[in-house]
Amino acid sequence: MTMAIVTSPLFFKIVFFPGLTSLAIIAALITWLDRKITARVQLRIGPQYVSPVGGILQAFADLIKLVFKELMIPAKADKFFFVAAPLIGMILAGGLIGLIPFSPEFQIANLEVGLPVFLAFVTLSPTMVLLAGWSANSKYPFIGGLRSLFQQTAYEIPLWLSAIGVVMMAGSFDLLKIVQAQSSGWFILPQALGALIFLITITAEMERIPFDLPEAEPEVIMGWQAEYSGFLFMAAQGASFIKLYAFSALFATIYLGGFLGPGPLPALFWTMLKTLVIIVVIILLRGTFGRVRIDQLLRYGWTVLLGLAIVNIAITYIIIQGIPAI
Amino acid sequence: MVAQGIAEIFYYLGFVTVSTFGLIIILFLIVSPRDPKPTPEKRAAFESGQIAVGRGRTRFIIQYYPYLLLFVVYDVVAMFLFAWALNLRSLGFSGTLPVIVFMVVLLIPLAYALHLSNRPENW
């Protein structure tokens, strides 16, 4: 009985790929990639000593260092939520990977409502940020948590509305069927506007520069992460990199044809290649843009992004049905 | 049909939850060093190096609350549109007309509300 569970394909998928083990390794490698690319953009060298190849093991060295640090919890903090909030955030981020079809075989759960479930998981994570900021009982984390809440109102509706364009084209919520619907052409061509809005809103959701207001270093000193130390800080940071991986994979799935690709190369190769391209693009944004202000983000999100998302739905409707004869 | 894959996602989430909390508890109990006598300064809130004054959860001004009010109303719209987008091809134009009317009815107040919210004196 136990052997039957261990040798089943679902066990392999949950434990090794695309599940937990590969998730941790890939998140650590993305941390290295983030530091290295940002360093190169800023004409620095970045990590280089930890391994023969460009310091690629730097992230693992940092992990080991953080694990052996003392965990300091402020005396006035709400201890349970202070510990639980970043962990739940990390679990929510890791759960996103379970919905992505890396190839027809390597998908943990093929939900019929995959896309809305993915976005619903995403919706919960700013709540965890607010919880973390509130429980720390300190002023900067609290401001960071509130900023996360405001930021969510700015990007949430454009994020959902830009994903609607894909649902209209594919006629399905199922991520596997959305990929199969792209066999005649990737959705990034008819959905160019939607893809752009989606890229901007997922950058805001991941709290990366130019939208990293909840953890802006010069303004609120790491914001909601200010009181975390040791492996709780590692969990808070890790969740952001796992989300970067999950969102890039989702973008590759719904706009860039997912695992579809020419030639004898395996389907898995194409998904990972496209995911890597999107990860690099999002990291390059960090090197090239300055941070927006919170009121700029709110105004821009509610007027320009929301307006363009509705325009995108209208354009998609005309592409599918033709101009309606009234 | 909707039940497809639900068992798998719950297995996965359960596994991730158990392993994350298990790992953290093991790290906390075995690996992480402890200070036997932490001083009050060490246990105080960090607050970016300054000595913390007053309560952490102070009174705060909810700026931008018009946006929060708008969000409560308009976040639901996306769900209605998702249902329409899924059945777009079978509905035809007669099924789409109510959606267009619905959107127009919602967008006019939205435009007026944004006109008001974007004025700084309303923050």
DSSP track, B35-96: -SS--HHHHS--GGGSPP-S-SS-----TTHHHHHHHHHHHHHHHHHHHHHHTHHHHHHHHH
**CATH superfamily for domain B6-122:** NADH:ubiquinone/plastoquinone oxidoreductase, chain 3 (1.20.58.1610)
Contact, A234 vs A60, CB < 8 A? no
Residue A326 in this model has a pLDDT that exceeds 70: no
Residue B60: which of A34, A219, A133, A204 has the closest Cα? A133
ipTM comes to 0.85
What are the pLDDT digits (tens) for A175-185?
A: 888 888 888 88
For residue A20, the chain B residues in CB contact (below 8 A) are: 15-16, 19
Cα A163 from Cα B99, distance rounded (Å): 17
Q: Three-state DSSP class for A106?
A: coil
Residue A48 within any structural domain of the chain = no
Helix (H, G, I), strand (E, B) or coil at A74: coil
C-alpha A104/C-alpha A302 separation (Å) is 37
For residues A267-288, give the mean pLDDT. 90
Q: Which of A246, A194, A99 is CA-nearest to residue B85?
A: A194
Nearest to A127 by CA among A94, A87, A97, A85: A85
Amino acid letter, A181: A
- pLDDT tens-digit profile of A119-162? 988 888 888 888 888 888 888 888 888 888 888 888 889 999 99
Contact across the interface for B82 and A76, Cβ inside 8 Å = no
User: Domains in chain A: how many in total?
Assistant: 1
Is the Cβ–Cβ distance between B77 and B104 less than 8 Å? no
What does DSSP assign to residue A17?
A: S
- With respect to residue A239, please indicate whether it lies within any of the assigned structural domains: yes
**Which residue, among A271, A237, A252, has the nearest Cα to A187 in the 3D structure?**
A252
The answer for B 49-78 residues in CB contact with A (under 8 A) is 52, 55-58, 60, 62-64, 67-68, 70-71, 74-75, 77-78
Q: Look up residue A222 and give its amino acid.
A: M
Percentages (nearest 5) of helix, strand, coil residues in chain A: 70, 0, 30
A51 occurs within a structural domain: no
| Residue of chain B whose alpha carbon sits nearest to that of A295 | B64
Over its C-alpha atoms, chain A yields an Rg (Å, rounded) of 20
Query: Closest to B57 (Cβ–Cβ): which among A99, A113, A142?
Result: A142
Distance CA B57, CA B54 (A): 9
Q: What is the pLDDT along chain B (123 residues), one digit of tens a residue?
A: 557 788 888 888 888 889 888 888 888 888 778 878 888 877 777 776 777 777 777 777 777 778 888 888 888 888 888 888 888 888 877 888 888 898 899 889 888 888 887 776 665
Interval A189-195 mean pLDDT? 89
Domain extent at residue A211: 74-321
Query: How many residues are present in chain A?
Result: 326
A98 domain-assigned: yes
- State which residue of chain A sits closest to B34, comparing Cα positions: A70
Residue A196 — very low, low, confident or very high, per pLDDT cuts 50/70/90?
A: very high
Give the pLDDT confidence score for residue A250 in this predicted structure.
92
Residues of B in contact with A75 (CB under 8 A): 40, 43-44
